[in-house]
Amino acid sequence: MNNYSVILIVFFILIWGCNSPQNQKNPYLHHGEGYVEVNGGKIWYAILGEGDQPPILCLHGGPGGNSASYYNLSELSKERPIIMFDQLGTGRSDHHQDTSLLKVDLFVEQVEAVKSELKLNEYYLTGGSWGAALALEYYEAHPEGIKGIIFNSPYFSTPIWTEDADKLVAALPDSIKAAIYEAERDSLFNTPAYDAANTYFASLHGRRKEKIKHAYDTIDSKRNTFIYNYMWGPSEFTATGTLRNYDNHQSLKKVNVPALFTTGEFDEARPETVEKLSKLVPDSKFVVIPDAGHSTLNDNGKAVRIAIKEFINNIENE
């Protein structure tokens, strides 16, 4: 090989390196909203803040929930864009009751559709509850450009989740427990007693404080209870849907980017369990959000924002 050939090879390597995703900045994102076409309809997304700093892409819980809780991250948008979207079938996206669309891989495709639409080259990924499972699934399929992951009050495994739920239910008053055990024994969940038990459980381990209405949250954004019931079940502590045997927690061992695990002090994603799961990711960070249930962004959003900001600052200051 002559010197001219060597020079050409070096030149093309340098050109490739300059144009690789790792060396490309994000496009400048503007505050606003839009829609992306996916298999089955259109999904709505919103960008809070603006700029070309690596944004935070947020995946909401449920399944069948909506992204409204992520308005409570808007304070972080002073430094970087916050991207939120409603998964197909719920919120401000197209609604449906087509069970053929309720597959985990299709939810992963929705995340990829938003990322591709916004042409993101590097970003942080966060998911809460079911959104944490989706974040892990998405990372396995499309790790490119992800600088770090925040797993908030995470769900990765139905067996682990229901084991925690059983412990929390066992600590409830006898009358509440009796209503739950009777409903599960008879598979009869549409009773006033079961509804009351569900409400009581949620007041302890779900949203413990009055719901915060954010200034950006101005349009009715309905959840989809059909999706929740079909994929999960009648309550947080009873799994009867298509996810009843779901277990992907061992995939946490494959995560090789910085990871932050947070959960509420009184969360149904119990702190003891989340801490154990966090240890599957090397050098991850674990933070308990004080005085909060599962709805940490509502119950103590300030503490969540501080944890996320410190996590990202540590990555970017390395």
Catalytic residue set: 129, 267, 294
Residue 301, beta-bridge partner list: none
Concatenating the DSSP letter of every residue in 182-249 gives HHHHHT---SHHHHHHHHHHHHHHS--SPPP--TT--S-----HHHHHHHT-SBTTB--STTTT-B-G
* Distance (Å, whole) CA 297 – CA 300: 6
Q: Which two tokens stand for residue 52?
A: 């070309």
* Distance (Å, whole) CA 55 – CA 103: 27
Residue 127's closest CA among 53, 39, 62, 37? 62
* Distance (Å, whole) CA 82 – CA 139: 18
* Distance (Å, whole) CA 284 – CA 102: 31
Distance, C-alpha 121 to centroid of its chain = 20
* Distance (Å, whole) CA 115 – CA 137: 15
* Distance (Å, whole) CA 134 – CA 105: 9
Q: Which two tokens stand for residue 104?
A: 């985990």
Q: Are 65 and 130 in contact (CB under 8 A)?
A: yes
Residue 119 identity:
K
Strand order in the sheet with 32-38: 32-38, 41-48, 82-85, 56-59, 123-128, 146-152, 259-264, 285-289
Measured distance between the N- and C-terminal CA atoms of the chain, rounded to whole angstroms: 40
